[in-house]
Amino acid sequence: MRTPLLLILSASVLLTACGVDKNSPVHLRKQQFKEMMRTRESLQGMLNGRLKYEPEAFLSAAHALADQSAKPWQWFEPIPNAEDSKAKGDIWRDAHAFKQAQDDLTRSLQQLTAAAAAKPTDPTQLKPALGAVEQACTSCHKQFKLE
Ligand code: HEC
């Protein structure tokens, strides 16, 4: 009667050893960031000719990026030394600056969605607005993410 329990125990030890805990805050925030990257790529693609530019599709992707960008922050718990994370300890040492970097992204996305909603839309006007969003992503990465 002891075998099943032992099997269950060793299975959970194996799972932990693999390190893929799909409910861990590190995993959840990384998934969210990947989704943000994919959405940003489709916005970029519509402006650089890789994808067809459709004003409605651009607007809805801009809104999607704004929604997605509100989410990862809830999964930054103070466990700065998680092995599978590239988060710098400065996130917790300077929480105020980390919050400011989130607010910069929010503001740049508000401008992007406003520019995308203007009628008629002019893709050349959208480029600087998307550029500011990219800048908000990379400047936070420079400050708070390990290479
Ligand atoms: C306020 C700071 C901040 C902003 C703004 C930000 N990021 Fe990040 N991002 C991080 C941090 C911190 C990590 C490292 C997370 C970890 O490894 O725990 C990260 C990681 C990532 C990753 C790697 C995920 C992985 O699988 O390891 C991608 C991709 C990414 N961000 C995309 C974006 C995009 C796209 C934007 C803008 C739309 C953005 N980020 C804006 C802080 C930010």
Q: Residue 105's domain is classified under what CATH number?
A: 1.20.120.10
In-domain check, residue 89: yes
Answer whether 87 contacts ligand 1 (Cβ < 6 A): yes
Output the furthest CA–CA distance in the chain (Å, rounded). 73
How far apart (Å, rounded) are the C-alpha atoms in residues 121 and 38?
A: 23
In-domain check, residue 1: no
Which residues constitute the domain of residue 61?
24-144
Task: Write out pLDDT tens, residues 3-22.
Answer: 555 444 444 444 455 556 88
Cβ neighbours for 123, distance < 8 A, ≥ 6 positions apart: 46, 47, 53
Whether 96 has a binding-site annotation, put simply, is: no
Task: Give the count of domains, the chain.
Answer: 1
How far apart (Å, rounded) are the C-alpha atoms in residues 43 and 100?
A: 24
Q: What is the pLDDT of residue 121?
A: 87
Task: Write out pLDDT tens, residues 95-135.
Answer: 999 999 999 999 999 999 999 999 988 888 899 999 999 99
In-domain check, residue 10: no
H-only helix segments in 49-122:
55-68, 90-93, 95-117
CA of 6 to the centre of ligand 1 (A): 40
Confidence at 140, pLDDT banded by 50, 70, 90: very high
In-domain check, residue 29: yes
Q: Are 83 and 136 in contact (CB under 8 A)?
A: no
Answer whether 27 contacts ligand 1 (Cβ < 6 A): no
Q: What is the pLDDT of residue 35?
A: 98
In-domain check, residue 11: no
In-domain check, residue 49: yes
